[in-house]
Chains A and B, each alone.
Chain A
Amino acid sequence: MIGRIGREPVAAIVAVFAAAGLALILIYPLFSVLQEAVISEQGGFDVSPVTRVLSNPVSRQILVNTLVMGMLAGILSTVLGFAFALATARASRGPLRAGLHFVALLPLIAPPFALALSTIFLFGRNGLVTKQLFGLEISPYGLSGLLFVQTITFFPVAYLIFDALVRQLDPALEEAALNLGASRARILRTVTLPLLRPAFAGSFLIIFVESLADLANPLLIGGDFNVLASSVYLAIIGEFDTRKAVGFAVVLLVPSLIAFFAQRLWVGEGNVVTVTGKPSTGRVGLLEPTLRVPLLAVTLFVGVIVVSLYAAVIAGAFTKLLGINNTVTLDNFRFVLQGIGTRAMTDTTILSAIAAPIAGISGLLVAWLVVRTRIGGRVVFDYLLMLGAAAPGIVLGLGILLAFNHPPLRLSGQTALFGGAIVFIIAFVLRTAPVSLRGNVAALSQIDPSLEQASANLGAGQVTTLRRITVPLLRRSLLSGVIFSFTRNMTTLSTVALLVTPSWRIMTSQILNEIDAQRLGSGAAYSTILIVIVLIAIVGLQRAFGRAAIEVAA
């Protein structure tokens, strides 16, 4: 061990820092949640917060609701994402393909609430489309509306998974089947789909976890359909009953972690069997019209819905009361910008911009530690850091609140250091460093270690090799990690919803206030501003650092 540290001094230092950092900002908060759940106020062992959730019929229903929502959202989004991947790879060319690709990525930059808000504008009980155009009486409040919004929000995640794979599949296999006389539909069923089976499982599990963690949509459009994430939030905001909150949080944490790590274990990285690294020569043909036409019809229809939802947010922001009084006005923006909006914009942007490089670099360093060094227990770092992505945001937020709102480390609240700014940065880094980790692990695995070995053989130390060879090679994955972190920080609600103080205003939390008061126009104005900031960040960083940022940011 000593000898190894002697050979890898930098790795040892990075490992020590990573261990200390993870213990402080990840393990301590999660431990605080568990502690609150099993230790009573008198200090005895008492798991009643958790058992109460499981035994009380009302909260048991909340658990069932949550699981039903997660599974259905997982299935619907996966199927739709696959349909889009198939449509762009095998059913369209040229501008049509580009258009479908664009709408499939568009929901990724939507702030929470934006799509649910426009769903109410367009498809609500007094919706512009359902009621005022077709005279239909549809209530979006409840499971069906929730699934609609979640499917639109999460199918791009499935699309990104399938898009890469469908295009990487070796056409030789399909050509062989074609030459043997199989129809394209038969090939799809017997060759393509089985090859993609792990991707289906992975996509379902990832979206299941995302759906469980969703806070904004259940609050706005869930109606009486209560779920665990919103129950945690309401237990704190409405009653400040921390034991009640941790009960829900622990019950929410278990299925999230199981699904997340099941996905990592079974599906893992680089699971596509036909990727050989050799250029394939075959050309993929388009599907037959019998498959292509319905596929295009469905995806185009969804595309139109996505675009109209965005249009409705913007229309809602620029009209007096969309659907009631459609006079064009800037009043909503005036209300937002003259109120807390300007503060919220600068505060959120500053905190997000501070956290983004921290998240990007920590992800890179841990990736390097895991892939390139021989430090003992390095895989543990990988799994621990991934907890930040696996645990629902509201649970992390609750943990941070419980851990840092009292001595010895009082970082949360207005009277804390920097008005409580540090807890936001902790929350942002925890949530987004895992994505940088995955991106950099993938990138590092593709870079031949011989380059670094050559550097070492020429006498360069670990620091020089890391600085001159490894980091420059990882420039792209580092940049995409930073961009992802920034956009995610700007648009996250669940992680920070419990942490807001008067000293730091967070835009998504202000949107929640507007929606709570049913000031839908101001909510739409906030959302529009947020979308613009995110777009400026993506486009600006892309201009500054080269292309391919929008895809990686997704």
Chain B
Amino acid sequence: MKKLSAFVTMLSLVLAACGGAPPASSPAPTTGGGAAASQDQGCGAKGSGSLTILGTPQEEYIQGITKAFEAECGIKTTYVRLSSGEALAKLRADKASPQFSVWWGGPADGYIAANNESLLEAYKPKNFDKIPASYKDPSGVWTGIYVGALGVALNTKVLKDKNLAEPTSWADLAKPIYKGQISIAHPASSGTSYTFVATHAFLNNKDLTKTFSYLSAFHQNVLQYQKTGAAPARQTGQGEVAIGVVFSHDIVAAIEEGFKDLKIMFPSEGTGYEIGGMALLKGAPDAVAGKTFMDWAITVKAQEMGPQFKAYQLPTHPDAKVSDKSVKLSSVKTVAYDFQWAGDNKKTIVDRFSNEVAPQPR
């Protein structure tokens, strides 16, 4: 018993020391975004002075952004993080009494699907016209806040240990030699994974029979479907599998975190990409504060904050500086990604995946 209490004392001391340490991992937002800061400060009306955001990107990013917004605009902001598919389910369930004001981040496909169910309220944030037309809905149903390409994380050490060739294409990932070596999230919960599924629909000219025959072969190599899109990057880095299908910016973040054996691969057939959306929710509580948040979120200053929180997506505001760690879309071969089609067919495709592909024995 004595030993136990000594151990407890020690741990609590360590914890106390740790709590008091200066913040190293998440530096304060940089002040003064140069010339841009003067023209789009972003903080408008406060509304009731509090705000709840539904966020879909990495927790660290949502947390950083909401804190920065709170510090700058003085609106108390809390958040819940849910993956894209989960967020949509939650919004649907809360339709009668909405809990959130704004949905922030996650592929635009999800926003289009949400709009088809009348869950969104069109709102054009201040400086909406600064955002290029291809990165937003023309009537302001959703506005793009970032862009990022789908990639493949390879653990070079695991591949070498197992004498496996480095895959270079989507076709390679369906080959039996990679059995049990692929990690990806489930498209029902994860927007990342749905982007992967939709990408294959576009590679097959929207022929779902061909698409699903590829997905069935690919399924044979998957170890386990994760819930969150970015998780496969770390699971691959940890060496639990050799290959992870995930957005390239999440691979960059995992490498930054110290998963040194990771490498990014873009399949030779071409890959899909996401436009991270943002939308006001229908019947939102604190809609005024929500609009203020949206105005602020597309400012140059807010868009340049990503890398501080290990978010290496590309900003949509053309004036925002791009981190040199981010993967430029122009450097990657992409498919002709039809967001409207992907959003309109999301439920059908996901249901088919859940019923036909995921239960298949392997």
Contact = CB atoms under 8 A, between A and B. Distances in A.
Most buried by A among B79, B186, B239: B239
B89 A240 contact: yes
B8 A532 contact: yes
Contacts of A320: 258
B231 A518 contact: yes
A337 interface: yes
Q: Is the interface of B mostly helix, strand, loop or mixed?
A: mixed
Contact of B18 (A125, A325, A334, A520): A334
A330 B21 CA distance: 9
B86 to A, nearest CB: 6
B257 A239 contact: no
A415 interface: yes
Given A223-B223, A333-B18, A520-B234, A238 B89 contact: yes
B275 interface: no
A414 interface: yes
Interface string A117-140: 000100011100001000000010
A413 B92 CA distance: 15
B31 interface: no
A143 B347 CA distance: 31
A425 to B, nearest CB: 20
B34 interface: no
Interface in A234-282: 234, 237-242
A139 B180 contact: yes
Interface residues of B, number: 64
A516 B228 contact: yes
Interface residues of A, number: 52
A539 B15 contact: no
A337 B4 CA distance: 24
A536 B59 contact: no
Nearest to B23: A338
Given A238-B86, A323-B238, A517-B234, A334 B23 contact: yes
Most buried by A among B81, B233, B240: B240
B257 A125 contact: no
Contact of A536 (B12, B90, B224, B362): B12
Contact of A415 (B26, B99, B158, B359): B99
B224 A502 contact: no
Contacts, number: 143
Given A414-B99, A532-B11, A518 B235 contact: yes
B340 interface: no
B8 to A, nearest CB: 5
Contacts of B82: 237
A126 B239 contact: yes
Contacts of A539: 1, 4-5, 8
A535 B4 CA distance: 8
A519 interface: yes
Interface string B221-243: 00110111011111101111100
A502 B52 contact: yes
A224 interface: yes
A113 B15 CA distance: 21
Contacts of A323: 238-239
Given A125-B239, A334-B24, A518 B226 contact: yes
A321 B239 contact: no
A528 B14 CA distance: 12
A503 interface: yes
In the A-B complex, the 10 residue pairs with the closest CB atoms: A126-B239, A518-B234, A240-B89, A240-B93, A518-B231, A502-B78, A333-B18, A58-B359, A330-B18, A516-B228
Interface of B: 1, 4-5, 7-8, 11-12, 14-15, 17-19, 21, 23-26, 52, 58-60, 63, 78-82, 85-86, 89-90, 92-93, 97, 99, 158, 180, 186, 188-189, 223-224, 226-228, 230-235, 237-241, 257-261, 285, 359, 362
23 contacts: A125-B239, A125-B240, A126-B239, A126-B240, A141-B224, A223-B224, A240-B90, A323-B238, A324-B238, A324-B239, A330-B17, A334-B24, A335-B60, A337-B19, A414-B52, A513-B59, A516-B231, A518-B231, A518-B234, A529-B15, A532-B8, A532-B12, A539-B4
Given A413-B97, A517-B58, A517-B234, 13 more contacts: A126-B238, A131-B239, A238-B89, A321-B257, A323-B239, A330-B21, A501-B99, A502-B78, A520-B234, A529-B15, A535-B7, A535-B8, A539-B5
